[in-house]
Structures are given as structure tokens and as C-alpha cells.
Amino acid sequence: MTAQRSARPSNTHKRSIVLPRIRPTRIVAALALAAAGGAAVSQTPSEADLARKLEQLAAELAAVKAQLATLQQQRAAQAAASAPAVPAANAPAPAAETASPAAPATVWSSYGEIVYNRPTNKPENAQADLRRFVLGLQHRFDQKTKLVTELEVEHAVSSSSDPGEVEVEQAYVEHQLGNTWAARGGLFLIPIGLLNENHEPTAFYGVERNFVETAIIPTTWREGGVQMIGQFNNGIAVQTGISTGFDLTKWDATSSEGQESPLGSIHQELALAKARSLSWFGATNWRGVPGLLLGGGVFTGDATHSQATTRARVTLWDLHARWTPGRWDFSALYTRGTISNSAALNAALIGNPTLIPSAFDGQYVQAAYKVWSRQDYALSPFVRWERFNTGKSYADLGPGLTPDPLPTETVWTAGANFQLTPGVVVKADVQRFRRNKDNDRINLGLGWSF
Amino acid sequence: MSRIRAATFVFGAALGLVLAGCGGGTAAPEAPAETALSDQAALGELIFRDVSLSASGRQACASCHVESNAHSPDNALPAQFGGTLLDLQGGRSAPSARYLAFNTPFFFDGEGTATGGFFWDGRAASLQGQAREPFLNPVEMANTDAADVVAKLALAPYAGEFKRVFGADIFSRPADAFDRMALALQHYQLEDVEFRPFSSKYDEFLRGKVALSAQEQRGLALFNSPAKGNCAACHPSAKGADGSHPLFTDFTYDNLGLPRNMALARNADPAFFDLGLCARPAGDLAGRPDLCGAFKVPSLRNVARRQVLFHNGAFNSLKTALTFYVQRDTNPQKWYPLKPDGSVDKFNDLPDAYKANVNTTESPYNRRLGDAPALSDAEIDDVIAFLQTLSDGFSP
């Protein structure tokens, strides 16, 4: 895991670890805390306190690892810069040699996934796809300030006549304000759910991201704005900020996109985003007990931008938990979205196939078990149950005009992740749909992240 | 810590200020405001109404594009009469001149769909280009050439103003003068909001100022529904993402297989067929037989004001036109004559070679003989009630 990844404040694949900013003093702090932790064990018998101390130690260890990775990157960069040639006698020293050890570091990262989907009842629709290839670039201006960017290509080829897209997925500057708080501004991922901020293929089970966190939470969901990030010693991490939001004026009632993902069809991705109205978001995650993560988030804001006859507020919230005792890995999530005043917006769209829902929701529970591991190899079978409904209710438009709620879909997914090394995963799973049997499929995938 | 608190305070204050500015009020697009016309547009208005520019001395643009009837003909003739004695019948019905400011030159889109252009066959690339033709059409204003028009223009009461705007010597250059005359007409149609008032009941409904009646709502739902009228597939009814009000046309072309209208004089010749796109005078689409029989999808704004519908004026009422849409294939005997052998001569306004071009795949044309029509009689009435909300000049 690169410094860029570890710099994210929220959940990662190893969710028991609070991943901090990088500071040299952390090495000393980690050692001090280690000693303090030992003292704490003897002084406070409470198991919870002990667990909290362990959690802090784990966090500090992660910081040390990240620091080490950064130093290695810097050292490599310096070596590359000073490598050329035999210096001419009396020539000025190369800039890299004169730079201080704290010189800005630039770090590349990448993740990607290649998938194969084969519908079991409609094998003629089988597809193979380079789902995404992402290049990340992080530049650390100084010990407190960094830039994080990610550039993504979806579906291998992007042109006017090809299905692919090129997207800037993240582009933000983060500045550390002290030991607890950091400020972030730019294009960033919204801290809702377990997956949105940590969507690399090595970070989730199954070839495909779960439906709840794609159809209801429109992963990978990003907005432009500013936020504050706070990480407290008691294991609580908070994020709050203001950002651009959704655009209901572009709802296409003639398309099925709104049924596939209500918010995915109206997100703006900071591409000439309408910004008359801004949205607010907040998220809290607690990691006070080793291996346990409890959290939730909310995002809300007007989505008509004074371009419709009525204002309409889009609100999405979630509650999530993850527990990783020993070889087990359990997670659960519930999320619900609402759109206010949808009746007024739908009035001119009646009769079309896809009206604006007033509510949509989804939930899943998932269990995985590391059944075998040797050196870096690890095999983790998993099973996931999820239910979601992208049109759970519609505001009343009168008899004969109000759409019926959409049926709730239930999906079982069973398969395994095989870790080749910590940065490479091979996946396989089977998915069964309760309603739409045409979607039953087997999936194979290869993913990487570093 | 003080720095942190300060930074947090600044952030919080900024957050509060910005959130205070969030949302707050709405501004649905209002009808375009009237503004003073430019000199060119003012001249265009005079030209638009000037009957002296025709060979008959009795016909102007405004004769067929009657302002009080949404710039459409105010009669039920399948085509208007023109010529020196106003006794020559035109070949196609006169379309409305409204909402053409949003049209584009003809082009094929990324999927190869014919789009845009002025006239039923899209042969003119602009309002200026469109404005030139009626002056020289033998069955319309019937001038012999541009110089003939300009000679009349030079005698008009506003000739002095025309020279002031376009140059004292403009009449000595008839080609240029004719060109400027058409340009003035374009200015007039682009600048005068009467050509795009967006003042229908439906516009007011979209602005949230009036509600549709229950029947109008049912009609809108049927109009939009892909399984029922599917009208919105070619006549979009929803606001654009930029808040723009719908024009009820996607500017494409379609081949509806209309019945031959024997009220058109030129249809007396059994060998004559009006083939639309592929038979444009310039011959530029002569190599596209798949486009034979295709005509422009018109805006449905003010459609209820029209007494004649479709390019060949085949129908005189919305009730008949909508019934044709949904019963063309389920009850073809109602719309087409019988052949000598007793079978229905379906799509009889097309040569046999081009009958396969008729749209038979999209609802409501995808029905078969004996199927239930996509809309019942009562549902057609509902759609008509909705279409009547598209007439400009609504007042609550």
C-alpha cells in the first residue's frame, strides 16, 4: 500500500487500522506509545481500554510503515536524479543531492481490474472487460501538504465511438492542521458506506462491487468541495464538509439509468457541475475496539439548483459495520436515499418509464473466512446476501399515474478471493438473483492495487 | 491548538456562509421578454407582411403563416394556393413558422439519423435560405427571379429604410438585395418573440403556475408512455437539463406511410410520388433510397390550431390523425383504398420499392392486423386534450 492510499482517513481493507498522515515524529511516538501501552495494560484492567491501546499501536505502526514507504520513494527518486554520468570535475552538484531529506516526494500508484461475466441463463451475453485502469499520483509539497490525484480509464478504449470513459476520480489538496485535524479541498470521494472511499479490487470481496454500494450509493462517487477530517485518540474519525451535489434537472425519464442507479444517473462528477446549491455531508467512524468498525454517514442537499419549479432535496445516509475477528471478516451495511418534492418534478414526466423515486434503499451482510494462507498467498471464501430497491416508493401523482414501487431484488453472491500477494487478487464468484434470473451469472476477475 | 481552533472557526464560518446561500428560491424559465427589433428585423417584419412582393400582388409570407393562427395557415386546405392568379395549388402543406429559431442545418447525427434543416425535406440550411424560396416558387409568390422581387422591393414604402440599412446602392445589385431581404426576414423571425413565445398552458404548467386537468394529465401520460402513444419518442415533452422548455420535435425525419391525399392536384398523376428526403431538388440524397418517403418531424406546439396535418395534408383533425397513428396497422382498410384484387393498398402514397421504408418497428406502428390499437378512442381524446395545452397564448 502506497503512502497515497494510506493517507486516506477512513476505512481500508484492513479496517482496524486508522491510517494517518505521515510525520517523522510518529516513529518516536510509536515507540513511546508502545511503552505507554504496556503500562496501560498493568494500570487499567479494562479490556476495552486495552483494546483501544492496541488499536492506537496498530495505527502508529501503520504510520511508520507509510513513513518508510515514503522515505523509500524519496530515496529512489534521489538516486534516479543523481544517477547519470560521472560528474565532471568541479561541476555543481545535482539538485537532488543538494535537496534536503524532507524534499517533496512524488509517488505513483495504480489499481485496476479485469473481469469476465457469464450469465448462466443467457451465455450469449457473456462479456470480458478491462473494467478500469487507474493511475494515481501523489505529490507531497511538504510534511503537511499533499496533492492526491487519480486518473481512470474505464472499458479499455475511450473515444467518441467506443464505450470507455476517461475520468479524474480524485484531485484534492490536503493540509494537516495539527495532530487531529486536516483540511481537504478539491475533488474527493464522499465518505458514505464501506466501499466508496476504498474501492480498489483488493479491498472488497467478489469480482464486482456489491449492488447496494453501486445502485444506491453510486460508487465511485465524488464531489468537489472542502472538508475537515478529524481523527481522535479514542478511535473516532469524523469527516464533514460542503460540496457540489446532484442534478435532478438532468433526470432522463425515458432512460432506464434512473432505475439502475437513481443517484448514479444524476451525479455530476465535477464536470461543469451545477453549483447554485451546495450539499453538506458528514461521517463518523469508530474503531475503538480492535477489529471492529462502526460508522455511518449522511449527504444532503438541494438538487434542482433553482432551475426547476420546486426545490428537491436529495438525502442519502448509511450505517455500516465491519468486524474482523481472527480469520473472519464480517460486514453489514444499510443505506437509504430520499428525494423530496418528487411529485412536482414528476408531473411533467408522467407516462415515461422511469420517474423520480421518493425513496430507495439497500442492505447487505457479508461473511468471509481466510481458510488458507502461506507466506503472501491467502484464500478467502465469502458469501454475501444483499437486497436493494432503486424505486422503493414514488410520491402520489393520482390514480393511474403514480408508478408502482419497483420490486426489491435479492442477490446471493458466493465465491472466493485468492491473494497472490498483498497487491494482487484473483477472484471468482457466482451470483443468483431472486427476481431477474437473466442476471444470474458467474464472474472471474483479476485485480491489483499498489 | 490555537491555530487549529482558528482554522476550524474559519472553516465553520465559511461553511455557514455558504450553506446560508444554498438553495433558496427557484427560477423556472420565463417566457422570453419582448425587446425592440433591430433595424434589419424591423425591415423583415415589413417584408413578411408585404403582399406587393408577390406576382399576384395578394400574397405575403404572412398569408400562409398567419400570426393570429400561430404562424400557420388559417384554413383547411391541404396546400395553399399561389401563382400569378392565386390559382395554383402548392405541393405540400404549409408548416408553422414558429420555434424555428432552435432548428439547425441538415445533418446526419452520429448514428446516421437525418436531422435538422428547414422545409419538410430539410433542404434549406437556415431561415435565410428558407425565406428565399417562396418568393420564386411558381405556385407561391411566383416571381420570375431575384431581380423581379427586388424591383418590387424598390417600390415598397420602406425602400428608403432598406437602402439606409443595407446601402444606398443596394437596389443596383439585385442579387445582394435579394439576399439582404431574406436576411432581414431571418432577423425578424429570430428576434420577434412572437415566433417563440412559450406561452402555452403546458409552458405555464412547466413553470409551476398552473395545473393540468385530469384529462390533460392522462393525455400527457399516454403521450409519453412507450407502450401507449410513444409520441415523445419523436416529440420530446420534457424540459432540458438546462431548463429549456421542450420543442416537441427531435428534428429528425420519419416515414409514416400516410395515405395518398387525392385533394392534392399533383397526385392526380398516378406516376407522381412525393418522396421527401431522397428527392430534394439538389439531388444530394438521391443515392439514399432508404430515405425515400421520409419527412421532417414537426413541432407539435400549436398543433391543435392547425386545420390540416402532415406534409400532404392527409388529415384535417387531430382525432383522425391520432386514430390513424394507432390503427394504421390494426385496421388498414380504414385508411387506404382497396386494390382491384380486394386487398388493401397499404402505404399507397409510396411506390412499391419504397414501402419497406415505412416505420413499422416503433410503437404504436408495431401492431398487426386485428391487434388492439395502442390507444382506445377515449385515450385518443385524452391525448388531444393534452395537445391542446400546447397552443400559445394561454391565459388562466
The confidence score (pLDDT) of residue B212 equals 96
CATH class of B39-110+127-195: mainly alpha
Q: How far is B92 from chain A (nearest CA, A)?
A: 33
- Name the residue among A249, A348, A351 with its Cβ closest to that of B243: A249
- Interface subset of B 88-117, CB within 8 angstroms of A: 110
Instruction: Write down the residue that cell numbers 509539497 correspond to.
Output: A141
Q: How far is A270 from chain B (nearest CA, A)?
A: 16
Tell whether the model's pLDDT for residue A27 goes beyond 80: no
The confidence score (pLDDT) of residue B34 equals 77
Q: Which residues of A touch B7 (CB under 8 A)?
A: 177, 181, 183
Return residue ranges of chain B for CATH 1.10.760.10: 39-110+127-195, 201-390
Tell whether the model's pLDDT for residue A320 goes beyond 90: yes
Tell whether the model's pLDDT for residue A87 goes beyond 50: no
The confidence score (pLDDT) of residue B31 equals 75
For A317, the grid coordinates are 445516509
Could A181 and B26 be called an inter-chain contact, meaning their C-beta atoms sit closer than 8 Å? no
Phi first, then psi: what are they for A320, rounded to 5°? Answer: -145, 155
Tell whether the model's pLDDT for residue A275 goes beyond 80: yes
Report how far residue A107's alpha carbon sits from residue A140's, in angstroms, rounded to the nearest whole number.
8
- Cβ contacts of B171 within 8 Å, gap of 6 or more: B150, B153, B154, B159, B162, B163, B177
Q: What is the pTM of this model?
A: 0.79
Helix (H/G/I), strand (E/B), else coil: B374: coil
Q: How far is A420 from chain B (nearest CA, A)?
A: 43
Could B11 and A308 be called an inter-chain contact, meaning their C-beta atoms sit closer than 8 Å? no
Residues A388-412: tens digit of each pLDDT: 999 999 999 988 899 999 999 999 9
Phi first, then psi: what are they for B127, rounded to 5°? Answer: -60, -35
pLDDT band at A309 (very low <50, low <70, confident <90, very high): confident
The confidence score (pLDDT) of residue A407 equals 97
pLDDT band at A75 (very low <50, low <70, confident <90, very high): low
Q: Which residue has the higher pLDDT, A37 or B169?
A: B169
**Could you tell me if B242 lies within 8 Å of chain A, comparing CB atoms?**
yes
Residues A257-268: tens digit of each pLDDT: 999 999 999 999
Q: How far is A142 from chain B (nearest CA, A)?
A: 18
Report how far residue A209's alpha carbon sits from residue A201's, in angstroms, rounded to the nearest whole number.
8
Residues A199-257: tens digit of each pLDDT: 999 999 999 999 999 999 999 999 999 999 999 999 999 999 999 999 999 999 999 99
The confidence score (pLDDT) of residue A266 equals 97
Mutation pick from A174, A304, A306 vs chain B, by most beta carbons of B within 10 Å, is: A306
**Could you tell me if B221 lies within 8 Å of chain A, comparing CB atoms?**
yes
**Could you tell me if A135 lies within 8 Å of chain B, comparing CB atoms?**
no
- Cβ contacts of B314 within 8 Å, gap of 6 or more: B78, B258, B259, B261, B321, B324
**Could you tell me if A254 lies within 8 Å of chain B, comparing CB atoms?**
yes
Q: How far is B65 from chain A (nearest CA, A)?
A: 30
**Could you tell me if A280 lies within 8 Å of chain B, comparing CB atoms?**
yes
- H/E element, A415: strand A409-421
For A79, the grid coordinates are 538516486
Residues A92-136: tens digit of each pLDDT: 333 333 334 555 589 999 999 999 999 999 999 999 999 999 999
- Cβ contacts of A35 within 8 Å, gap of 6 or more: none
Q: Which residues of B touch A178 (CB under 8 A)?
A: 1, 3-4
Q: Is the previous residue joined to A104 through a cis bond, with omega within 30 degrees of 0?
A: no
Measure Cα distances from B144 to A102, A306, B155, B176 in Å.
86, 54, 17, 16
The confidence score (pLDDT) of residue B33 equals 79
Could B26 and A348 be called an inter-chain contact, meaning their C-beta atoms sit closer than 8 Å? no
Nearest residue to A166 via CA among A177, A155, A178: A155
Question: To 10 degrees, the CA torsion angle through B75, B80, B84, B85?
Answer: -50
**Could you tell me if B22 lies within 8 Å of chain A, comparing CB atoms?**
yes
**Could you tell me if A158 lies within 8 Å of chain B, comparing CB atoms?**
no
The confidence score (pLDDT) of residue A25 equals 37
Could B225 and A304 be called an inter-chain contact, meaning their C-beta atoms sit closer than 8 Å? no
Q: Which residue has the higher pLDDT, A33 or B314?
A: B314
Report how far residue B325's alpha carbon sits from residue B229's, in angstroms, rounded to the nearest whole number.
9
Q: Which residues of B touch A226 (CB under 8 A)?
A: 11, 14
Mutation pick from A176, A313, A349, A354 vs chain B, by most beta carbons of B within 10 Å, is: A349
- Name the residue among A254, A301, A344 with its Cβ closest to that of B232: A254
For B379, the grid coordinates are 385515450
Report how far residue A53's alpha carbon sits from residue A59's, in angstroms, rounded to the nearest whole number.
10
The confidence score (pLDDT) of residue A399 equals 86
Report how far residue B201's alpha carbon sits from residue B219's, in angstroms, rounded to the nearest whole number.
14
- Name the residue among B14, B220, B226 with its Cβ closest to that of A350: B220
Could B238 and A352 be called an inter-chain contact, meaning their C-beta atoms sit closer than 8 Å? yes
**Could you tell me if B226 lies within 8 Å of chain A, comparing CB atoms?**
yes
Per-residue pLDDT of chain B (396 residues; tens, 9 = 90+): 444 444 444 444 444 444 433 433 333 456 777 789 999 999 999 999 999 999 999 999 999 999 999 999 999 999 999 999 999 999 999 999 999 999 999 999 989 999 999 999 999 999 999 999 999 999 999 999 999 999 999 999 999 999 999 999 999 999 999 999 999 999 999 999 999 999 999 999 999 999 999 999 999 999 999 999 999 999 999 999 888 999 999 999 999 999 999 999 999 999 999 999 999 999 999 999 999 999 999 999 999 999 999 999 999 999 999 999 999 999 999 999 999 999 999 999 999 999 999 999 999 998 999 999 999 999 999 999 999 999 999 998
Count each helix (H run) and each strand (E run) in chain A, helices first: 6, 17
Q: How far is A252 from chain B (nearest CA, A)?
A: 9
Could B239 and A398 be called an inter-chain contact, meaning their C-beta atoms sit closer than 8 Å? no
Could A304 and B26 be called an inter-chain contact, meaning their C-beta atoms sit closer than 8 Å? yes
The confidence score (pLDDT) of residue A52 equals 52
Could B19 and A242 be called an inter-chain contact, meaning their C-beta atoms sit closer than 8 Å? yes
Percent of chain A with pLDDT over 90: 74
pLDDT band at A69 (very low <50, low <70, confident <90, very high): low
- Interface subset of A 353-412, CB within 8 angstroms of B: 353, 398, 400-401
The confidence score (pLDDT) of residue A90 equals 38
Size of interface A-B (CB pairs under 8 A): 111
Could B224 and A302 be called an inter-chain contact, meaning their C-beta atoms sit closer than 8 Å? no
Could A348 and B217 be called an inter-chain contact, meaning their C-beta atoms sit closer than 8 Å? no
CATH no. for B201-390: 1.10.760.10
Report how far residue B235's alpha carbon sits from residue B224's, in angstroms, rounded to the nearest whole number.
9
- Cβ contacts of B215 within 8 Å, gap of 6 or more: B381, B382, B385, B386
- Cβ contacts of B151 within 8 Å, gap of 6 or more: B174
The confidence score (pLDDT) of residue A64 equals 57
Could B28 and A160 be called an inter-chain contact, meaning their C-beta atoms sit closer than 8 Å? no
Mean pLDDT taken over chain A: 84
Amino acid at B357: N
Nearest CA in chain A to B19: A278
Could B4 and A228 be called an inter-chain contact, meaning their C-beta atoms sit closer than 8 Å? no
